[in-house]
């Protein structure tokens, strides 16, 4: 395995935020596809779908070009119509909201549970239900599962569909069991990747069939069937899209899926390590009050103290070679989106998004890296201002002596 510090390219960071683990197995898989002579949706995609479905104890899955596409197709296949309202998380990536906009429905942001718990609040969702509410999208933030059974009950009570944005939880076995559809991402910085790609799980065969048709122009006979002589022509029975996955990506995804369990375990271990060190060394920094033990641990997020200058902290950590990020900037204030949400007040989400900080987490890291990140965070929060020097993140031993 490549050392996490031997970064390719021109990264200024010694410890990067996230990194895809790719190696010889992926190279062999790509060669296998190239040698086969068939590149567009075919047997590899079919095998990837079946293996992914099996991993989630589901009958089948539908591979698509991205999680954004998966969300859009799920909304459409579940019959969401122009003007319908869809409750969406206020702390999420913009794709969750855009998918709703693509089908001309109205995204209604729901506030979070508390300033240190960024999952959607059921109470606020209850307040935002109207006669036009048709569905809810929940998002398993950072790899920590929402209470899907509770949301499922909420949706039954309000006669709504439930979709899971599962971009952060490709391994979690419960995803897809209680909802009408779940959408996964295989983008380069996710827990498993095929560079770009997505997957749809749905308990409803009709939804899977609709998604399969919509991803390929609403076409009755896909290219592979014609190549194999099963069909000479095709019909278009609805307005679809090109949201297909190709064989190269599917082959990558199958290799990544094989390593997902072991890499998820590494993520949990590193998260446990972070949590222990942060709790001991920096009690003023909050960690999410959710168990990491069965979580997919996609993001290592913490919440900085009220009034803390986060930009300065991020700059000092950058100077120490540690990359950090923010998940997420408030989308309801983005230049393009703000006009849609002029009336929207999300006090808890806004506080969270002002204070949250994401630390490096990927299975290429080890305990020593975690020590160094926490030490860098500590020094960034408490710079030795008199001398003005911020010491670069050092080794484990010096951290241990320092944090006592």
Ligand X SMILES: *Cc1c(COP(=O)(O)O)cnc(C)c1O
Interacting residues toward ligand X by CB under 6 A: 66-68, 92-93, 95-96, 139, 165, 167-168, 185, 187, 198
Please report how close the Cβ of residue 197 comes to ligand X at its closest, in angstroms.
7
Q: Which is nearer to ligand X, 14 or 185 (CB)?
A: 185
CB 357 within 8 A of CB 313: yes
Q: Which is nearer to ligand X, 69 or 282 (CB)?
A: 69
Encoding tokens for residue 266? 């590494």
Please report how close the Cβ of residue 241 comes to ligand X at its closest, in angstroms.
14
The CA distance from 104 to 99, in Å, is: 9
Pairing of strands 198-201, 61-64: antiparallel
Please report how close the Cβ of residue 245 comes to ligand X at its closest, in angstroms.
11
Please report how close the Cβ of residue 293 comes to ligand X at its closest, in angstroms.
22
CB 178 within 8 A of CB 241: no
Q: Which is nearer to ligand X, 249 or 369 (CB)?
A: 249
Find all residues with CB under 8 Å of 35, minimum gap 6, and list them: none
Please report how close the Cβ of residue 5 comes to ligand X at its closest, in angstroms.
26
CB 190 within 8 A of CB 167: yes
DSSP state of 304: P
Q: What is the edge-to-edge ordering of all strands in the sheet holding 133-139?
A: 61-64, 198-201, 181-185, 161-165, 133-139, 85-89, 106-110
The CA distance from 195 to 32, in Å, is: 18
Please report how close the Cβ of residue 189 comes to ligand X at its closest, in angstroms.
8
Q: Which is nearer to ligand X, 163 or 277 (CB)?
A: 163
Q: Which is nearer to ligand X, 115 or 198 (CB)?
A: 198
DSSP state of 308: -
The length of the chain is 404
Please report how close the Cβ of residue 40 comes to ligand X at its closest, in angstroms.
19
Q: Which is nearer to ligand X, 352 or 399 (CB)?
A: 352
The CA distance from 270 to 18, in Å, is: 13
Strand segments (E) across 267-337 = 286-287, 300-303
Q: Which is nearer to ligand X, 200 or 282 (CB)?
A: 200
């Amino acid at each position: 395995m490549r050392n996490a510090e031997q970064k390719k390219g021109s990264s200024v960071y010694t410890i990067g935020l996230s990194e895809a683990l790719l190696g010889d197995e992926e190279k062999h898989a790509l060669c296998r596809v190239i040698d086969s002579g068939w590149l567009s949706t075919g047997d590899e995609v079919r095998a990837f779908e079946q293996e992914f479905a099996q991993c989630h104890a589901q009958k089948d899955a539908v591979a698509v070009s991205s999680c954004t596409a998966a969300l859009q197709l799920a909304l459409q296949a579940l019959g969401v119509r122009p003007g319908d309202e869809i409750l969406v998380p206020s702390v999420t990536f913009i794709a969750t909201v855009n998918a709703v906009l693509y089908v001309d429905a109205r995204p209604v942001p729901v506030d979070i549970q508390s300033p240190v718990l960024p999952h959607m609040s059921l109470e606020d969702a209850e307040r935002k239900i109207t006669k036009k509410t048709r569905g809810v999208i929940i998002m398993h933030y950072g790899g920590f599962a929402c209470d899907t059974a509770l949301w499922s009950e909420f949706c039954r009570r309000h006669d709504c569909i439930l979709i899971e944005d599962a971009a952060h939880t490709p391994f979690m076995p419960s995803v897809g069991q209680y909802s009408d559809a779940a959408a996964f991402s295989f983008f380069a910085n996710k827990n498993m990747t095929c560079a770009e790609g997505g997957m749809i799980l749905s308990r409803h065969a009709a939804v899977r069939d609709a998604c399969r048709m919509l991803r390929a122009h609403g076409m009755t006979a896909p290219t592979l069937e014609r190549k194999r002589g099963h069909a000479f022509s095709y019909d278009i029975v609805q307005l679809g899209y090109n949201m297909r996955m190709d064989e190269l990506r599917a082959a990558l995804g199958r290799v990544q899926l094989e390593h997902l369990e072991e890499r998820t375990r590494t993520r949990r271990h590193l998260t446990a390590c972070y949590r222990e060190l942060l709790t001991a060394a920096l009690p003023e920094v909050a960690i999410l009050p959710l168990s990491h033990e069965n979580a997919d641990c996609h993001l290592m997020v913490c919440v900085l103290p009220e009034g803390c200058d986060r930009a300065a902290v991020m700059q000092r950590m950058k100077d120490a070679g540690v990359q950090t990020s923010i998940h997420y900037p408030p989308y309801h204030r983005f230049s393009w989106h703000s006009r849609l949400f002029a009336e929207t007040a999300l006090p808890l989400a806004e506080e969270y998004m002002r204070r949250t900080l994401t630390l490096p987490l990927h299975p290429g890291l080890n305990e020593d890296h975690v020590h160094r990140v926490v030490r860098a965070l500590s020094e960034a929060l408490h710079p030795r201002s008199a001398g003005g020097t911020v010491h670069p993140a050092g080794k484990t031993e010096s951290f241990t002596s320092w944090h006592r």
